[in-house]
Chain A
Amino acid sequence: MGERLKGKVAIVTGAGSMGPGLGNGKAAAIIFAREGAKVMLVDINAKAAEETKSIVDKEGGQCIAFKADVTSSADCQKMVEACIQIYGRVDILHNNVGILGAGGLLDTTEALWDRIMRTNLTSMFLTCRYAIPHMLEQGGGAIINVSSIGGIRTPQPGQMSYAVSKGAIIAFTNEIAIEFAAKGIRANCVLPGLIKTPMVEFSYDTSAWGSRDIEEMWRKRDAMSPTGRQGEAWDIANAALFLASDESKYVNGVSLLVDGGLTGTTKIFK
């Protein structure tokens, strides 16, 4: 076990995975625990959080599983209160919850738009509202919001509400970063590129990638990456670890890209 987060308490939202394999939240929770943090594993699906807990337990880490719907204000309040009650403090808030939703402007229903904004963006507003007062009392904290390259590029059209929500997360993060900078609270975004996670596997209509064959989708995503490979959840987790630890104490309001260089390119028209 490392000690880069020794003595710290972390909340990771979306700490369970949607299916077998390793999602961004699950990997971040595991890495935080490996580095000595006590981690509150929050998920809307208690079973998924428990699965992550069993991995952390096996490695000798400290964590608790907690069921909450972070789109609910009451749940967010309960979540933060439970964290304070159980662990006494909250140093790291890792806002990882987010959902995908297919549709361009004309085929995105208002209901889908609202659901995505609520889940991806308002959830962060709510968790921060309840966590920050405790961080202020403690004299500091680190907030990490998982955005996406979809917030700054349109790699695959037809993810309108998702992309807009992810772009808004960047602005939200910047607001928090400046508002509380002098109080020792840092807020940063991670912008994952094409990452091979269960959420991508289970949320996508793979036909958007020209085939219903999941392997074909993975191959296409690998080929899109300048590195020839998609990233993995561990890559997001390690970026989050940097932003959560004191090593990044002067890093505030950044959008940390973990995309293999994809956003440094444009489409080549033939």
Chain B
Amino acid sequence: MGDRLKGKVAIVTGAGAIGPGMGNGKATAIVFAREGAKVMLVDINLKAAEETKEFIDKEGGSSIAYAADVSKSADVKKMIDTCVQKLGRLDILHNNVGIGQWGDVIETPEEEWDKVMTINVKSMFLTCKYAVPVMLKQGGGAIINIASMGAIRTALPSVAYNTSKAAVLGFTREVAVTYAAKGIRCNAILPGLMKTPQAEFYNTKAFGGDVALMWRRRDSMSPTGKQGEGWDTANAALFLASDESRYVNGMHLLVDGGITLTTRTFA
């Protein structure tokens, strides 16, 4: 076990994976625990959070599993209260919850737009609303928001998802600048193409259900020839959560192998 987060308490939202394998949130929770943090594993699916807890338990880390819907104000308030009650403080808030969406502006139903905005953006507003006062009282904290390369680039139309992720960047900057002088840092991670259970869930349909073909195609899209993995997002989060990044604030950290430097190649 390392000690880069020794003595710190972290909340990771979406700490369970939606299927077998390593999601961004699960990997982040595991890495945080490996580095000595006590981690509150939050997921709407308690069983998924408990699976992550089991993984951490086996490694000798410290965590609790907790069920909450972070798009609901009451749930979020209870989550923060419980964290402080059970773990004594809150140093790191890792906002990892987010859902995917495909479709352009004409075909996307209003309800879907609202749902994506609520889960991907409003959830972060809510968690920060209740976490920041705790951090202010303590004299500081680190907030990490998971955005996406979709915030700054368009591959295939996903108007609600990509707009929500761009909003995460704006929200991150607001929190970062507003509380900088109080010792709270807020940064965003923009994952590119990652080989995660969630990516599998949202992308396989477009490849006629052929998972292997989908992964191959995504590998070939990456300048590195390979997608990233949950661990890459987790290690970026670790940097942003630890005191090593104490002067890093309001920053957008791309973890995308360089794909956002490229543009579509016209045939």
Q: Which A residues lie at the B interface, using CB under 8 A?
A: 174, 177-178, 181-182, 184, 193, 195, 225-228, 231-232, 235, 238-239, 241-242, 247-254, 256-261, 263-265
Contacts and interface: CB of A to CB of B under 8 A. Distances in A.
Contacts of B228: 250
Given A174-B261, A177-B258, A181-B223, A238 B177 contact: no
A227 B249 contact: yes
B91 interface: no
Given A241-B244, A257-B248, A226 B255 contact: no
Contact of A254 (B232, B245, B249, B254): B254
A266 to B, nearest CB: 10
Given A177-B261, A257-B248, A259-B249, A250 B192 contact: yes
B48 interface: no
Contact of A261 (B177, B224, B244, B262): B177
Given A177-B261, A250-B192, A258 B248 contact: yes
B255 A260 contact: no
Interface stretch (B131-139, B203-211, B235-243): B235-243
Given A181-B258, A226-B176, A226-B180, A250 B232 contact: yes
A250 B180 contact: no
Given A184-B224, A239-B244, A263-B250, 20 more contacts: A174-B258, A178-B258, A182-B223, A195-B247, A227-B180, A228-B180, A231-B247, A238-B244, A238-B245, A239-B245, A242-B235, A242-B239, A251-B253, A251-B254, A256-B253, A258-B247, A261-B176, A261-B177, A261-B180, A264-B177
A182 B224 contact: yes
A257 to B, nearest CB: 5
Q: How large is the interface on B (under 10, 10 to 19, 20 to 34, 35 or more residues)?
A: 35 or more
Contacts of B247: 193, 195, 227, 231-232, 235, 258-260
A257 B249 CA distance: 8
Contacts of B245: 235, 238-239, 242, 258
A178 B225 contact: no
Contact of B253 (A184, A247, A254, A259): A254
Q: Which 4 A-B pairs have the closest CB atoms?
A: A226-B180, A231-B247, A250-B228, A261-B250
B164 to A, nearest CB: 20
B181 interface: yes
B167 to A, nearest CB: 15
Contacts of B176: 226, 261, 264
Contact of A226 (B177, B229, B258, B260): B177
Contacts of A225: 180
A102 to B, nearest CB: 25
A264 B250 contact: yes
Nearest to B238: A247
Nearest to B225: A182
Nearest to B222: A181
Nearest to A194: B247
A191 to B, nearest CB: 9
B181 A226 contact: yes
Nearest to A171: B261
A264 B179 CA distance: 13
Nearest to B248: A258
A239, A260, A265 — most chain B CB neighbours (10 Å): A260
B50 interface: no
B257 interface: yes
7 contacts: A177-B223, A182-B224, A235-B248, A238-B245, A248-B236, A250-B228, A264-B250
A160 to B, nearest CB: 26
A247 B245 CA distance: 14
Contacts of A178: 223, 258, 261-262
A241 B247 CA distance: 14
- Which of B173, B228, B257: most chain A Cβ within 10 A? B257
A44 B173 CA distance: 39
B78 interface: no
A184 B261 CA distance: 17
B257 A181 contact: yes
B153 interface: no
A153 to B, nearest CB: 13
Contact of A181 (B224, B244, B255): B224
B256 interface: yes
A104 to B, nearest CB: 28
Nearest to A175: B261
B246 interface: yes
A228 B181 contact: yes
Nearest to B239: A242
